[in-house]
Each structure stands twice: as C-alpha cells, then as structure tokens.
C-alpha cells in the first residue's frame, strides 16, 4: 500500500474551493488526484463537487476539467476518450491522455446509470469514480439509490409511520462488474492508502474501470464535520461499506474485518439515523444489522473467505 | 435567380481552374440524403462520430459504420446507447478540438434536448444531420419539422435542405461555417424525413482532394488539453451567466456573413451556388409562398405552371432558419401583396406555426406590409401535393384582392 510520504506533494486539486468543512467528497477528490500518472483530463457530473469547485471565474482544478450535465458524465468521458485516441492516431497528439469521470451517487446510481452502463459496455479506456455520500446532497439531502436503509433524507423523512428510507442500497460494484470489465473496486476516504492504490490500479487498466469511494457528508448525515474520517472508517469496520476489488469478475477482499463493529456504533454518530433509536423503531436497527450481516457473509463467500457466524 | 443558374451548372460541367489546380468534371453518384451526408462526413475526415440509430436517419449511421469497418475512414465511431449519450459524447469529443458529427431524428432529437444547449453554450462546432420526423404521439416515422422546431431556441445554426444534393453540399459548408473561429457554434443540417433522407438522386460529388482543400482540419478557438489545463463548463452564477448568453448571441449574429463567405468559396469549388435564402420568380411577384426543405420544389413547379397562366406568383425558400435571415427575407417579401408561409410543425395555441411567427415578427421592418397567412401542412409525412400548393396560392390571391385574411392558420390537406 502506498505510504503518505510517497505521495506527490503537488496539489492538482487546489485549496480555496467552496465545499463544506469536513466534506468527504472533497477529500476523495484530493486523494484521487494523487494517483494520477501523467496527462489527465477530468469530466465531472453536476453535483456538490462540480458546483463548489468551479464557481466562475475561479477553479480549484489544476488539471483540465470538463462539466457538461448531470447524467451524461460517462458519455462525455466516452467522447473525450474517443477524441484523444483519434487525435493521437492522426498525429495531432503525442501522449496518451487518462480520462477520469467523476460523479456523485445520484449521478451514478440513478440518473447516470444508463450512460455509465453504455460506456462500460463499449469498453472506453477511462476510470469512473463515484463519490458516494449516500444522497442528493447538492439539492438539499434527497434520497438516492445509494441511500442506506433507515436513513432520513428530505424525501425519505423520518415520519411517524415511515422511519426514513425503507429500500435497500443498490449494489453498484456488482452492477459494474456485471459488464465483465477488468476492474471494479470499493474504497473509503478513511483508508487513503488503499483508495489511492486502487485508483492507480484503475488507471493502469486498459479499458473501463470503476472506483466506488465512500465519502461522508456532515451536512446530509447530520454528523460532526470532525467525524468524517472516523465515519468513513466505521462504515468499513461495521461492514456497511466493505472494501474489495472485483478483478475480471473475481472478488477479492482488500480489508478483512475480524470482528465487525455493531452498526449502531456507526449510526448513533449521525442525525440521519437518530429516529431509529426511538423505542418504537429500535427493531429497525436490528433488521439493518441482520441485513449487513447477510450482505457481509455473501461478500465473504464471493471472495472465497470463511463466513462469520454473527456480527454486531 | 439562383435556381436557374444552378440548372445551367448542372447541364454543363465546366472544368474549374482553382488555385494551382485544375478540377476535373465532377463525379456523379446515385445517393439518398442519408448516404450523401455520410459520404460528406467521410470526405471531411471527421475525427469522431457518436450516433444512435433512429428512423429515418439510420442509413446515415449504417453507411458511416461501413466506412469505419472497411477502413475507409480514420474516424472514431462511438456507437452509443442513446441520443442523449450521442450528443454528450459529441460535446466531450468537440472540446478536445476534434471535428465531430452526429445525426438523429424526432424522439432522438427530443432526447438530446438538454445536451443541445450545452453544445452551443460550450461553443462546440458539432454538425448534426437531422432527418426531420414527426414527434410522438401518435407514433409516426414520417417527415415534418416538429422535432427541430421543438429545439428551435437551442442556440444551434439551423439549415434546411431541399434534396440530397443540397444535403451533401450543406454538410460540407455547415462544417466550415460552424468551425469558423468567429462562430464556433454547432449546426444542424435538416433533411425532410424520407422525402430527402431516402430520396435517391444523381449527385455531383467533389473529389476528396477538393474537400480537403475546402475543409482543412479544424483549428479550434480553445481546446481541452493536459498541457494547458483549463476548466470548461464552470458554474456561472447571476453575475456571469448573462454575459455568456450575450456572447453566444453575438456569435450567432455573425453567421450570415460567414455563411455567405463560405458559400462563395464553395461555389468556386463546386460550381453550385448557395446562400441564405433562395428566391424564384420574385421580381414582379404579387403573391408568394415561403417554405423550407423539400416542399420548395413542389412550390417552384406550381409557380411555373401558374406563371404560364399569367399569374404573378413567386417562391422563397429559406436555407438558413437560425439565425433567422430577417434582412434578406424582408427585402424579398416586403413588396408582395400577400404571402403564404408554410409550416410543417404546430406551435399549439400560438398565433402561428413557428416559421410564420418569425415572419410575422419581422413584418414591422417592411414599409408596405404584405398580408400573411400560415399554411399548415405535411404533418406526420402527409403528402404536400401540387393541388395543396395551388390552394395556398388561390388563398393568397384572394387575400391580395380583398385585403382580408380569413384564417390566420389555414390547415391544408387535413380531414376536417
């Protein structure tokens, strides 16, 4: 794993952007740029990172950066990749350009999934990075396909009858891997070495690769901005967001969790789960724990690891 | 009279003495509109084509795929999963400085709608063939202009062509106009679905060398390249957004001048003369019909017949619809007594269809205002017959005599 001291001190993602204190996605972007190996162009979906890093006439990007729309980032990346390829073939460009597509969970799990699927199927040489803060935070914390069960958002509020989001989180990594691409990985800003390693591997792949990075949002999660890294670690340690790679369809666990921390330890630090701690909804936490246990064991099986009897 | 001169050209193909080169008589080939555009794209050495198939545009994509599969072009063909992604990929490719083309129709254009605005606002000189087709519902695959009119205000240059020859010629010219550094705006070349997209005609083709000379590689105003990092598509708040739009409009207003320059250059190479509008028998005309696309041919044919009977009728065809050729049009129509404006798209609840609304809005520039009425016809591919055109001229003559417009919109050729 790459050590922090080995990382480039060059900041391609400049300070002075307008993202919140403790913003997970912002940290994920800075770490992402540390993995770049050469000429790189980023294309970014509409979202927190996009609006807060490029308020004209300022920009936080010291690499070329293109924003088009919300749901078309993978398609924009397809065009960029195709163009640089042909410009190089025709002799207008000498060096290869690495294309990085960046989208939030809304732009990836929901509105952008068709364009992503198309681009993965066509086999463009690019890396898709989904920074996942588990809701539409830019528009004011609305539920997405990435919002976990039980979380309250402004469109899945903690009501008297319905306590937060009732549905499950989509399995993005499995969806991407189902396209038979070479590399899919999950990562967390709580483990930067692991994340940057995975980014580097993804860039090395000739063809599409996907990195799904867990990035807490203090505003949307109603958590202490100082706890963002702690939560990014707890998400992994509770097995709610396990870290693994899928290389040519083969699952590989990249962070073993001997004794998972109970999900309630993670949830109690976040206002979005506060309602579940009321007596009438406490059984929901057990349900979620059971769900996490099942998912974790299924993942362990896929990774060829021994399943664990109980957790939490 | 542009048209007559063009007929002369067609009869006698004169070897043309260009700058240091002698061009041999042009090659003739039988092609439909779709094929003509695909062939032009091939000769233009387009860098990236990203497209999705939709009737009646499919043949363009199929032919181009064949060129790619047979190694006849060096283009990256991105066969995307939707039109939304087609235009998105085009934008991504265009900002790198590459020459980019696509094509679509109807629902495909509607699906692209939001990306069309990004293409024009990011000043991407993408050229798109639109095989104009009716919009659903009811689903219908045939020609009318409702698709492009639905995206009328998207900031694209919009050209309407009459036949496959024009489709070929305008595709090459549109690339040069769009990519002009003063303009740098996307352009659509509109072919009436089936009537032009599928009509087979003898086409005069330029040689590859002529196209290469007329259309050298694109020289972008800016490009996204790692060596000179820039941010494209930044977030503009109320303090900057308006200026961006104002600049876009400035570029749009420069189009007619550049277009005329390009058509003159093209005439030298091709011996075919184009422009902003085409007039036919307008010198002493008292009534006339204004149309776009394939209908113009039917109108001219009826004008000839009526002229033989001594009626003072004429025809005007728009090649350029956006930017709207206000000056050229007022000088053509102001002295008329009555004008019928053909629309092949509805603007539900509006005073007129889209083209007639534009015409009505420029009439204040005329000293003696002609009476106008909107002739709605050809929706969903309904035939526009010579009889229909005669009905329009009869109506126009009646208005010229009485000075009374009975119906703002006359629905021609519909079951009432």
What is the residue extent of each domain of chain B? 28-270, 278-411
How far lies A187's CA from each of A192, B59, B181, B389, in Å?
A: 8, 45, 44, 67
Q: Who among A38, A59, A80 is closest to B96 (CB)? A: A80
Distance, in Å, from the CA atom of A114 to the CA atom of A75, rounded to the nearest integer, reads 9
Q: What is the dihedral of CA A67, A69, A74, A76, to 10 degrees?
A: -60
Q: Specify the pLDDT at position B25.
A: 58
Residue A12 lies in a domain: yes
Report residue A263 as tokens: 């999900």
The per-residue pLDDT of chain A, averaged, comes to 97
Let me know: does B345 contact B144? Beta carbons within 8 Å. yes
How far lies A240's CA from each of A169, A260, A289, A290, B287, in Å?
A: 10, 10, 9, 11, 76
**What CATH number does residue A31 fall under?**
3.40.50.970
Residue A307 lies in a domain: no
For residue B49, list chain A residues with Cβ-Cβ distance below 8 A: none
Q: Using CB atoms within 10 A of its CB, is residue B260 exposed (0-12), middle (13-18) or buried (19+)? A: middle
Let me know: does A104 contact A133? Beta carbons within 8 Å. yes
How far lies A146's CA from each of A53, A167, A200, B397, in Å?
A: 23, 10, 25, 66
Number of domains within chain A: 1
Q: Selecting from 3.30.420.40, 3.60.15.10, 3.40.50.2300, 3.40.50.920, what CATH number does the domain B278-411 have?
A: 3.40.50.920
Q: Specify the pLDDT at position B28.
A: 83
Nearest to A244 by CA among A160, A188, A175, A163: A188
Residue A101 lies in a domain: yes
Question: Measured between alpha carbons, how far apart are the two ends of chain B, in Å?
Answer: 38
Q: B145 phi and psi, to 5 degrees?
A: -100, 15
Q: Who among A56, A66, A87 is closest to B92 (CB)? A: A66
SS3 B197: coil
Q: Who among B48, B88, B228 is closest to A68 (CB)? A: B88
Confidence label for A311 from pLDDT (cuts 50, 70 and 90)? low
Residue A121 lies in a domain: yes
Residue A154 lies in a domain: yes
- Asked if B235 lies within 8 A of A51 by C-beta distance, the reply is yes
For residue B98, list chain A residues with Cβ-Cβ distance below 8 A: 83, 86-87
In Å, how far is A121's CA from the nearest CA of chain B?
9
Q: A89 phi and psi, to 5 degrees?
A: -65, -35
Nearest to B201 by CA among B151, B229, B167: B167
pLDDT in tens, A116-138: 999 999 999 999 999 999 999 99
pLDDT in tens, A30-62: 999 999 999 999 999 999 999 999 999 999 999
Residue A67 predicted with pLDDT over 50: yes
Residue A239 lies in a domain: yes
- Asked if A86 lies within 8 A of B94 by C-beta distance, the reply is no
**Residue located via tokens 């957004």:** B241
Q: Specify the pLDDT at position B34.
A: 98
- What averages of pLDDT result for each successive group of 10 residues across chain B (416 residues)? 38 44 66 97 97 98 96 97 98 98 98 98 98 98 98 98 98 98 98 97 94 97 96 97 98 98 96 96 98 98 98 98 97 97 98 98 94 98 98 98 97 96
Q: Does domain B28-270 have CATH number 3.40.50.970?
A: yes
What is the domain extent for residue A86?
4-302
User: Which own/partner contact pairs does A291-299 have at CB distance under 8 Å and 24+ positions apart?
Assistant: A291/A149, A291/A168, A292/A238, A292/A239, A292/A240, A292/A260, A292/A263, A293/A239, A295/A239, A296/A239, A296/A242, A296/A257, A296/A260, A299/A242, A299/A244, A299/A251, A299/A253
pLDDT in tens, A235-290: 999 999 999 999 999 999 999 999 999 999 999 999 999 999 999 999 999 999 99
In Å, how far is A29's CA from the nearest CA of chain B?
16
Does the ipTM surpass 0.90? yes
Confidence label for A4 from pLDDT (cuts 50, 70 and 90)? confident
């Amino acid at each position: 794993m790459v050590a922090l001291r080995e990382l480039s001190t060059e900041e391609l993602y400049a300070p002075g952007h307008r993202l919140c204190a403790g913003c997970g996605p912002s940290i994920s972007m800075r770490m992402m740029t540390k993995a770049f190996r050469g000429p790189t162009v980023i294309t970014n979906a509409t979202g927190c990172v996009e609006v807060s890093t490029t308020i004209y006439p300022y920009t936080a990007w010291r690499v070329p950066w293109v924003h088009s729309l919300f749901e078309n980032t993978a398609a924009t990346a397809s065009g960029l990749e195709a163009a640089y390829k042909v410009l190089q073939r025709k002799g207008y460009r000498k060096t290869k350009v690495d294309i990085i597509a960046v989208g939030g969970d809304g732009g990836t799990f929901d509105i952008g999934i068709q364009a992503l699927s198309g681009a993965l199927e066509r086999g463009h040489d690019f890396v898709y990075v989904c920074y996942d803060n588990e809701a539409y935070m830019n528009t004011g914390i609305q539920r997405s396909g990435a919002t976990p069960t039980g979380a309250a958002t402004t469109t899945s509020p903690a009501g008297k009858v319905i306590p937060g989001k009732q549905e499950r989180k989509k399995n993005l990594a499995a969806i991407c891997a189902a396209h038979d691409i070479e590399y899919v990985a999950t990562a967390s800003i709580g483990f930067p070495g692991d994340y940057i390693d995975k980014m580097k591997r993804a860039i090395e792949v000739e063809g599409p690769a996907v990195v799904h990075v867990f990035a807490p949002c203090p505003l949307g999660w109603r958590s202490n901005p100082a706890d963002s890294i702690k939560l990014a670690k707890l998400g992994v340690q509770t097995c709610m967001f396990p870290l693994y790679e899928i290389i040519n369809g083969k699952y590989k666990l990249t962070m073993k969790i001997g004794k998972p921390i109970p999900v309630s330890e993670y949830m109690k630090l976040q206002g979005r789960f506060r309602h579940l701690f009321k007596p009438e909804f406490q059984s929901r936490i057990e349900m979620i724990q059971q769900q996490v246990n099942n998912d974790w064991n299924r993942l362990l099986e896929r990774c060829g690891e021994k399943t664990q009897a109980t957790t939490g | 009279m542009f048209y007559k001169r063009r007929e002369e050209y067609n009869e006698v193909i004169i070897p043309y003495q260009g700058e240091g080169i002698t061009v041999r008589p042009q090659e003739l080939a039988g092609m439909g509109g779709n094929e003509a555009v695909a062939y032009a794209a091939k000769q233009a050495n387009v860098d990236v084509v990203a497209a999705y198939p939709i009737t009646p545009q499919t043949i363009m994509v199929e032919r181009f795929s064949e060129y790619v599969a047979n190694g006849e072009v060096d283009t990256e063909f991105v066969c995307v999963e939707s039109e939304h992604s087609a235009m998105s990929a085009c934008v991504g490719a265009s900002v790198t400085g590459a020459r980019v083309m696509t094509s679509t129709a109807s629902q495909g254009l509607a699906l692209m709608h939001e990306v069309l605005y990004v293409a024009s606002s990011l000043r991407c000189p993408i050229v798109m063939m639109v095989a104009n087709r009716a919009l659903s519902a009811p689903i219908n695959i045939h020609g009318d202009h409702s698709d492009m009119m639905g995206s009328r205000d998207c900031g694209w240059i919009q050209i309407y062509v009459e036949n496959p020859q024009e489709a070929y010629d305008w595709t090459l010219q549109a690339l040069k106009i769009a990519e002009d550094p003063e303009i740098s705006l996307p352009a659509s070349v509109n072919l009436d679905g089936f009537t032009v997209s599928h009509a087979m005609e003898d086409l005069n083709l330029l040689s590859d060398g002529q196209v290469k000379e007329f259309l050298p590689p694109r020289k972008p105003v800016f490009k996204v390249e790692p060596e000179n990092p820039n941010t494209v598509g930044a977030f503009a708040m109320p303090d900057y957004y308006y200026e961006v739009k104002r600049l876009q409009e400035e570029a749009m207003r420069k189009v007619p001048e550049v277009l005329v320059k390009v058509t003159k250059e093209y005439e030298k190479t091709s011996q075919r003369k184009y422009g902003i509008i085409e007039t036919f028998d307008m010198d002493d005309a008292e009534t006339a019909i204004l149309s776009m696309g394939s209908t113009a041919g039917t109108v001219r044919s009826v004008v000839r017949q009526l002229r033989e009977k001594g009626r003072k009728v004429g025809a005007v065809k728009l090649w350029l619809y956006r930017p709207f050729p206000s000056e050229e049009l007022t000088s053509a129509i102001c002295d008329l007594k009555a004008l019928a404006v053909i629309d092949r798209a509805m603007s539900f609840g509006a005073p007129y269809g889209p083209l007639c609304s534009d015409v009505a809005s420029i009439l204040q520039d005329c000293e003696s205002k002609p009476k106008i009425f909107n002739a709605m016809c050809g929706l969903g591919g309904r035939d526009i017959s010579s009889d229909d055109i005669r009905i329009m001229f009869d109506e126009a003559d009646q208005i010229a005599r009485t000075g009374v417009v009975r119906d703002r919109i006359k629905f021609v050729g519909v079951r009432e």
